[in-house]
């Protein structure tokens, strides 16, 4: 498990990449990934290309990020989710809160 | 002295040596290094001194009279138990075999004669480090064990309290519910609740909180409270869900929520109403055809959305007597094998397909999980509810504390509920509470509620919304009916339902007259009442039920107004 984050040059986009198992073990690392930036980006992108698994506490972490990013006004994209992860997002109907692709 | 490694803390060291000269020499060296010395001249004496004085380290000659060093080492190690008492053999032996024997007997090291002071001091220090490490490990192990016991105790107490709350419903008493829950599933956030509504329908909730341990269990209490309270008062799924969602949203941190499926099974109406948010698909199992209709998750879990954004839309499926609803938690599907492969929905489907005896479904699933993984996870929950006839209507409402002296017996009241209210408010629980102020009616509260519920939904669906019950002739039409109901209700901007209640004393008892009017087009009363009372038809059941349960029923105003009466005798 690892979480890496990077802000675009113009400071408007924060990219968070989660690798391996996305579960409670990545809680602190995931929070640090967006809390450590002083400037508030306009768009948050969670890249799950290399995430192999996701549990309900990971869903909770996405909700925390959404809350941090402004709740109902937040723009959070979840990209590159594999079929297993996509299934979990679908069962929870998280597409109603996040832009999932 | 300055050349020697510093001594951390003086130790009590037992030296067992049969040669008086060697013993004197060694004792002097060790004392000079700052330790306290005990002596013995053979193995038996060494064991005796050890038993009495419990030294922290032993220097032992291998070859001694009475009892040799090997035997003494074995005994001392046994006496020391878990504590590490380092034992260093003093030996002039040179062959590998003899040296290995020293270690086999329980020795931790050996020191060849003649003694080298520097090496001896260093070995004593090294052994002391090991001794301290072992002591720390033991101390921490005991501390962890103590905490663990404490935690288990807390969980047992919490579980006992929670079982009283969670199982205050009918989950264990109802003959048509079978469930399987790992004993500590609660502490993995799983929750299973069931209770009867006043009209004898059954509400069932299978929930799964995010996270593990106590944090996952705390949200269960308020959820259970809302579930039981509102079900007993006759609230429908929509209001109950709204209340549960709002409560969880208010009390839970942002990253906690509760995936849940909530069901209302009605034997009278032969239907199951379903709301599911974030749970794996459950199924309605049609026994006659073997068909399994999936109950898909259509919503976000409870506690995520604000009250305004929450969606309480339910789905309704027809059921025949004997049909079953099966629900499960993700612990079943997420059971993983040694290679981290998940059990998954497809394997579950295979178990369904292979199942020959519906009553053995749980066992089949458990066996499949066990074969897949070797052991079952402790957050596995499954429940199966069968639609069964003859759930007796009974007064299951809250206990009343009042004595009955102030019971109102001669009054009337009228309500008019208009479009905006009909859209989102169910007035029945409120009306029922009002009517149960009359003590004589409490015995009949189930029948009263059932009749009110039927007449109200007739007035709403066929009257105000103008829906045709003949749509419900088959399963597909059934779904269509409820789709239209939702759509028309959402767009409603005119219409009303009026409820008139009149209570009069009759002798020592009394009589209540309930009249319900709607703004719809009415219907041909004689033609509808002439239809046969076919109990297996999907539609038209309501009226026969009303006629069975109330003492008198009559329509007027072209079917737009219906009037029922309930009487009661003097209370014993």
Nearest to B333 by CA among B293, B372, B283: B372
pLDDT of residue B94: 76
Q: Please answer yes or no on whether A24 and B211 come within 8 Å at the CB atom.
A: yes
pLDDT tier at B95, thresholds 50, 70, 90: confident
In chain A, DSSP finds a helix count (H) and a strand count (E) of 3, 6
Higher-confidence position of B212 and B129: B129
E strand or H helix that includes residue B487 = helix B475-491
CA distance A6 to chain B (A): 23
For chain B, say whether A63 makes contact (Cβ under 8 Å).
yes
Average pLDDT of B236-252?
94
For chain A, say whether B304 makes contact (Cβ under 8 Å).
yes
How far is the C-alpha of B112 from the C-alpha of B128, rounded, in Å?
19
Average pLDDT of B1-28?
80
For chain B, say whether A28 makes contact (Cβ under 8 Å).
no
Residues of A in contact with B210 (CB under 8 A): 56-57, 59-60
pLDDT tier at B186, thresholds 50, 70, 90: low
Q: Please answer yes or no on whether B340 and A56 come within 8 Å at the CB atom.
A: no
Average pLDDT of B29-52?
93
pLDDT of residue B502: 93
pLDDT of residue B536: 42
pLDDT of residue B184: 66
**Residue B35 class from Cβ within 10 Å (0-12 exposed, 13-18 middle, 19+ buried)?**
buried
CA distance A51 to chain B (A): 14
Percent of chain B's residues with pLDDT above 90: 42
Q: What are all long-range contacts of B419-425, with beta carbons under 8 Å and residues at least 24 apart? A: B419/B492, B419/B493, B419/B494, B419/B495, B419/B496, B422/B460, B422/B464, B422/B489, B422/B492, B422/B495, B422/B496, B422/B497, B423/B489, B423/B490, B423/B492
Closest Cα in chain A to B308: A72
pLDDT of residue B537: 46
Cis peptide before B421 (omega within 30 of 0): no
Which among A24, A72, A92 is the nearest to B259, CB-wise? A92
Q: Please answer yes or no on whether B256 and A64 come within 8 Å at the CB atom.
A: no
Which of B171-175, B260-264, B400-404, B448-452 has maximum average pLDDT? B260-264
CATH superfamily, with its number, for domain A2-100:
STAS domain (3.30.750.24)
Q: Please answer yes or no on whether B297 and A55 come within 8 Å at the CB atom.
A: no
How far is the C-alpha of B264 from the C-alpha of B388, rounded, in Å?
14
pLDDT tier at B6, thresholds 50, 70, 90: low
Which among A63, A72, A94 is the nearest to B255, CB-wise? A63
pLDDT tier at B2, thresholds 50, 70, 90: very low
Looking at B107-180, list the stretches that DSSP marks H as alpha helix, in order from N- to C-terminal side.
117-166
The per-residue pLDDT for range B264-295, each reduced to its tens digit, is 999 888 889 999 999 999 999 998 888 899 99
In the sheet with B36-40, reading across from the earlier edge strand, the strands are B36-40, B12-16, B57-61, B87-91, B109-112
pLDDT of residue B497: 95
Residues of A in contact with B306 (CB under 8 A): 72
For chain B, say whether A95 makes contact (Cβ under 8 Å).
no
pLDDT of residue B376: 60
Looking at B492-553, list the stretches that DSSP marks H as alpha helix, in order from N- to C-terminal side.
525-530, 541-549
Nearest to B418 by CA among B510, B492, B341: B492
Q: Are B268 and B541 in contact (CB under 8 A)?
A: yes
For chain A, say whether B211 makes contact (Cβ under 8 Å).
yes
Tell me the backbone φ, ψ of residue B249, rounded to 5 degrees.
-60, -40
Does B353 score more than 90 pLDDT? Answer: no
pLDDT of residue B405: 60
Residues of A in contact with B257 (CB under 8 A): 59-60, 63
Taking residue B497's Cβ as centre, other Cβ atoms within 10 Å add up to 23
> What are the angstrom distances between the C-alpha of B191 and each of A65, B382, B400?
27, 11, 29
The per-residue pLDDT for range B63-93, each reduced to its tens digit, is 888 898 889 999 999 999 999 999 999 888 7
How far is the C-alpha of B459 from the C-alpha of B466, rounded, in Å?
9
CA distance B309 to chain A (A): 10
List all residues 6 or more positions away from B504 whose beta carbon is below 8 Å from its beta carbon.
B409, B410, B510, B511, B513
Taking residue B120's Cβ as centre, other Cβ atoms within 10 Å add up to 19
pLDDT of residue B395: 47
Least confident segment among B34-38, B334-338, B392-396, B513-517: B392-396
Q: Are B496 and B417 in contact (CB under 8 A)?
A: yes
Residues of B in contact with A73 (CB under 8 A): none
Residues of A in contact with B261 (CB under 8 A): none
Which among B211, B278, B306 is the nearest to A92, CB-wise? B278
Does B478 score more than 90 pLDDT? Answer: no
Higher-confidence position of B314 and B535: B314
For chain B, say whether A3 makes contact (Cβ under 8 Å).
no
pLDDT of residue B1: 44
Q: Please answer yes or no on whether B304 and A63 come within 8 Å at the CB atom.
A: yes
The per-residue pLDDT for range B155-169, each reduced to its tens digit, is 788 778 877 776 777
Residues of B in contact with A57 (CB under 8 A): 210-211, 255
Q: Residues in chain A, how many? A: 101
Q: Which residues pair with A54 in a beta bridge?
A: A22
Q: Are B372 and B335 in contact (CB under 8 A)?
A: yes
Question: The tokens 């030996």 sit on which residue?
Answer: B91
How far is the C-alpha of B176 from the C-alpha of B263, rounded, in Å?
14
Q: Are A66 and A98 in contact (CB under 8 A)?
A: yes
pLDDT of residue B3: 46
pLDDT of residue B414: 94
Does B55 score more than 60 pLDDT? Answer: yes
For chain B, say whether A79 makes contact (Cβ under 8 Å).
no
Closest Cα in chain A to B311: A96
Closest Cα in chain A to B298: A93
Question: The tokens 């109200």 sit on which residue?
Answer: B456
pLDDT of residue B538: 44
What 3-state class would DSSP assign to B209?
strand
Closest Cα in chain B to A95: B300
Does B553 score more than 80 pLDDT? Answer: yes
pLDDT tier at B343, thresholds 50, 70, 90: confident
Across chain A, mean pLDDT equals 89
Residues of A in contact with B277 (CB under 8 A): 92-93
Does A75 score more than 50 pLDDT? Answer: yes
Which of B100-104, B121-125, B438-442 has maximum average pLDDT? B121-125
Which among B297, B309, B342 is the nearest to A93, CB-wise? B297
pTM: 0.74
List all residues 6 or more positions away from B509 whose beta carbon is below 8 Å from its beta carbon.
B440, B567, B568, B569, B570
Helices B96-104 + B69-80 axis angle, to 10: 30
DSSP characters over B365-419: HHHHHHHHHSS--TT-EEEEEE--S-------S----S-STT---SEEEEEEEEH
E strand or H helix that includes residue B484 = helix B475-491
pLDDT of residue B391: 55
pLDDT tier at A94, thresholds 50, 70, 90: very high
Residues of A in contact with B301 (CB under 8 A): 92
Q: Where are the domains of chain A?
A: 2-100
Which among B211, B299, B342 is the nearest to A93, CB-wise? B299
* ipTM > 0.85 (yes/no): yes
> Residue B112 corresponds to which tokens in the numbers above?
């060849």
pLDDT tier at B307, thresholds 50, 70, 90: very high
Residues of B in contact with A22 (CB under 8 A): none
Least confident segment among B305-309, B375-379, B429-433, B447-451: B375-379
Domains in chain B, please, with CATH?
12-137 (3.40.50.2300), 167-386 (3.60.40.10), 411-568 (3.30.565.10)
Q: Residues in chain B, how many? A: 572
């Amino acid at each position: 498990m690892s979480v890496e984050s990077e802000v675009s040059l113009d400071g408007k986009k924060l990219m968070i990449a989660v690798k391996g198992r996305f579960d409670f073990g990545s809680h602190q690392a995931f929070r640090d990934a967006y809390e450590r930036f002083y400037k508030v980006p306009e768009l948050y992108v969670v890249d799950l290309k290399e995430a192999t698994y996701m549990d309900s506490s990971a869903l909770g972490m996405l909700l925390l990020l959404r809350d941090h990013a402004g709740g109902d006004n937040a723009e959070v994209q979840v990209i590159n989710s594999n079929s297993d992860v996509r299934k979990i997002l679908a069962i929870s109907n998280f597409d109603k809160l996040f832009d999932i692709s | 002295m300055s050349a020697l490694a510093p001594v951390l803390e003086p130790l009590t060291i037992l030296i067992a040596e049969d040669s008086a000269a060697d013993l004197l020499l060694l004792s002097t060296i060790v004392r000079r290094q700052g330790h306290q010395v005990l002596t013995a001249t053979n193995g038996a004496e060494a064991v005796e001194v050890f038993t009495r004085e419990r030294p922290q380290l032993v220097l032992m000659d291998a070859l001694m009279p009475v009892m040799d060093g090997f035997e003494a080492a074995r005994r001392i190690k046994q006496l020391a138990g878990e504590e590490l008492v380092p034992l260093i053999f003093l030996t002039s032996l040179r062959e590998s075999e003899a040296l290995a024997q020293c270690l086999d007997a329980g020795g931790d090291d050996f020191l060849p004669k003649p003694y080298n002071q520097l090496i001896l001091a260093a070995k004593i220090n090294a052994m002391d480090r090991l001794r301290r490490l072992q002591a720390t490990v033991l101390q921490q192990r005991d501390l962890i064990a103590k905490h663990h016991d404490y935690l288990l105790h807390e969980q047992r107490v919490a579980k006992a309290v929670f079982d009283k709350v969670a199982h205050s419903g009918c989950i264990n008493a109802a003959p048509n519910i079978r469930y399987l829950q790992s004993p500590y599933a609660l502490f993995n956030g799983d929750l299973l609740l069931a209770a009867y509504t006043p009209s004898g329908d059954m509400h069932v909730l299978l929930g799964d909180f995010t996270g593990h341990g106590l944090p996952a269990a705390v949200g269960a209490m308020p959820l259970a409270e809302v579930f039981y309270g509102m079900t007993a008062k006759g609230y429908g799924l929509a209001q109950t869900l709204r209340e549960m969602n709002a409560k969880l949203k208010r009390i839970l941190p942002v990253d906690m929520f509760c995936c849940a499926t909530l069901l209302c099974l009605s034997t009278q109406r032969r239907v199951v109403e379903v709301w599911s948010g974030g749970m794996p698909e459950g199924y309605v199992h049609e026994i006659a055809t073997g068909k399994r209709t999936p109950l898909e998750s259509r919503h976000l879990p409870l506690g995520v959305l604000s009250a305004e954004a929450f969606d309480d839309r339910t789905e309704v499926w027809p059921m025949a007597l004997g049909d079953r609803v099966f629900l499960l938690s993700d612990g079943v599907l997420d059971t993983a094998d040694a290679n981290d492969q998940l059990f998954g929905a497809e394997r579950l489907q295979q178990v369904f397909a292979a199942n020959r005896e519906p009553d053995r479904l749980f066992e089949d699933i458990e066996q499949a999980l066990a074969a897949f993984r070797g052991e079952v996870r402790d957050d596995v929950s499954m429940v199966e509810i069968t639609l069964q006839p003859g759930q007796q209507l009974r007064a299951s409402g809250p206990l009343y504390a009042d004595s009955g002296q102030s019971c109102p017996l001669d009054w009337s009241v009228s309500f008019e509920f208009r479009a905006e209210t009909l859209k989102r408010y169910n007035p029945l629980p409120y009306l029922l509470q009002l009517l149960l102020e009359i003590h004589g009616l409490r015995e009949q509260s189930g029948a009263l509620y059932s009749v009110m519920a039927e007449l109200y939904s007739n007035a709403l669906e066929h009257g105000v919304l103008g829906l045709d019950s003949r749509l419900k002739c088959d399963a597909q039409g059934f779904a269509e009916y409820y789709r239209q109901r939702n759509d028309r209700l959402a767009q409603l901007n005119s219409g009303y339902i009026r409820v008139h209640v009149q209570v009069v004393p009759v002798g020592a008892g009394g009589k209540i007259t309930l009249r319900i009017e709607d703004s719809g087009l009415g219907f041909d009363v004689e033609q509808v009442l002439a239809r046969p009372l076919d109990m297996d038809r999907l539609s038209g059941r309501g009226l026969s039920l009303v006629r069975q349960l109330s003492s008198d029923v009559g329509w007027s105003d072209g079917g737009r107004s219906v009037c029922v009466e309930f009487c009661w005798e003097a209370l014993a």
